[in-house]
């Protein structure tokens, strides 16, 4: 189910950069203390409840350092775990396991943190036919992983970047001299495979967007009442996305208005890492 990590060249490069950043010219502590022929097992455990994701990334971190590392996943990405759950076991040279530990955990904790908060939002709205969406407010350089995390938490992805879908915002509308003219410019030039979304600030803009037959209409910072009216006006002729100021406290109320989509910047712009750690075991010298 869902997009793969292992064969993705972009993720490979992200991991390489992260290892270069942390290890640079060498792990001077481990290389001084840990003999190169020492084998060990690393146990990765969750220290708190949450939804885990990113195990393939952690695996690739260690394998990039030494192709002979064996990394066994004990759960699938997207699994909700309780405190103490073993997530994976790593076998190989003790040095490599220690070298890769921090980078692997940094990835795993962040990706799991995002999956966990996303999952909480999804839980809140589980009684409604609405999707929880991410935004482009992601950590620079890690978008592909953060959008993966959102999916693993039960959410859905908005457009990936500026290149794969059209989102006409207030500034575009202002420059174009109105929604109609802005959408027109786009429709004439854009691929037939590309959807068009327009951000509206009031119901009259909503009307205008609807007439232009756009695919999605984003209600920017509207209150629940206005959203409900918007849903009635649109009547399924476009998807409706609620956006702006959404929290765990108000998301259920917003879902009740009947919108199709709820996009939430804080899924990725303000992340609390999930607490995950690694223990070393079974150290033994290779004969």
Closer CB to a copy of itself, 47 or 225, in the complex: 47
Determine, following the binding rule CB under 8 A, whether residue 41 of this chain makes contact with a copy of itself: no
The question of whether 151 is a catalytic residue gets the answer no
> CB 261 → a copy of itself: shortest distance, Å?
6
Binding mask 1-40 toward a copy of itself (x if CB under 8 A, else -) reads xxxx-xxxxx---xxxxxxxxxxxxxxxxxxxxxxx-x-x
The question of whether 169 is a catalytic residue gets the answer yes
**136 Cβ neighbours under 8 A, 6+ residues apart:** 143, 158, 159, 161, 162
> CB 252 → a copy of itself: shortest distance, Å?
20
Closer CB to a copy of itself, 7 or 225, in the complex: 7
Q: How far apart are CA 61 and CA 156, in angstroms?
A: 26
Residue of 134, 146, 199, 208 marked catalytic: 199
Interacting positions 76-115 with a copy of itself (CB under 8 A): 94-96, 98-99, 102-103, 105-107, 109-110, 113
**Residue 198 and residue 166 in contact, taking contact as beta carbons nearer than 8 Å:** no
DSSP 22-82: HHTT--HHHHHHS-TTEEEEEEEEESS-EEE--HHHHHHHHHHH-TT-EEEESS-TTEEE-
The question of whether 170 is a catalytic residue gets the answer no
> CB 285 → a copy of itself: shortest distance, Å?
10
**Residue 20, number of CB atoms within 10 A of its CB:** 11
Residue of 45, 73, 80, 137 marked catalytic: 137
The question of whether 22 is a catalytic residue gets the answer no
- In 3D space, the residue among 132, 131, 59 whose CA is nearest the CA of residue 96 turns out to be 59
Interacting positions 139-198 with a copy of itself (CB under 8 A): 139-144, 147, 151, 156-169, 171-172, 174-176, 182, 185-186, 188-195, 197
**220 Cβ neighbours under 8 A, 6+ residues apart:** 170, 199, 200, 201, 243, 244
**68 Cβ neighbours under 8 A, 6+ residues apart:** 92, 93
User: Where in the sequence numbering do the catalytic residues fall?
Assistant: 102, 137, 169, 199, 220
């Amino acid at each position: 189910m869902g997009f793969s990590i292992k064969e993705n060249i972009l993720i490979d490069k992200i991991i390489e950069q992260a290892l270069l950043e942390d290890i640079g010219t060498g792990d001077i502590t481990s290389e001084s203390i840990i003999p190169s022929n020492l084998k060990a097992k690393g146990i990765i455990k969750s220290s708190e409840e949450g939804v885990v994701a990113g195990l393939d990334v952690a695996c690739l971190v260690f394998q990039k350092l030494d192709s002979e590392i064996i990394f066994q996943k004990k759960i699938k990405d997207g699994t909700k775990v309780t405190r103490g759950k073993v997530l994976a076991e790593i076998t190989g040279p003790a040095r490599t396991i220690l070298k890769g530990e921090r980078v692997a955990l940094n990835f795993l904790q962040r990706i799991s943190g995002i999956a966990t908060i996303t999952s909480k939002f999804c839980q809140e709205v589980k009684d409604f036919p609405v999707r929880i969406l991410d935004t482009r407010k992601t950590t620079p350089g890690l978008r592909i992983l953060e959008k993966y995390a959102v999916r693993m938490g039960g959410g859905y992805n908005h457009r990936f970047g500026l290149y794969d879908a059209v989102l006409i915002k207030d500034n575009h509308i202002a420059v174009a001299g109105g929604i109609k003219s802005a959408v027109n410019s786009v429709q004439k030039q854009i691929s037939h495979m590309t959807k068009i979304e327009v951000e509206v600030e009031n119901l009259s803009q909503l009307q205008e967007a609807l007439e232009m037959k756009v695919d999605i209409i984003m209600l920017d910072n509207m209150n629940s009442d206005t959203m409900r009216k918007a849903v009635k006006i649109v009547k399924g002729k476009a998807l409706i996305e609620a956006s702006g100021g959404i929290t765990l406290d108000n998301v259920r109320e917003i879902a009740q208005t009947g919108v199709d989509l709820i996009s939430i910047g804080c899924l990725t712009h303000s992340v609390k890492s999930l607490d995950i750690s690694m223990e070393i075991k079974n150290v033994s010298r290779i004969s």
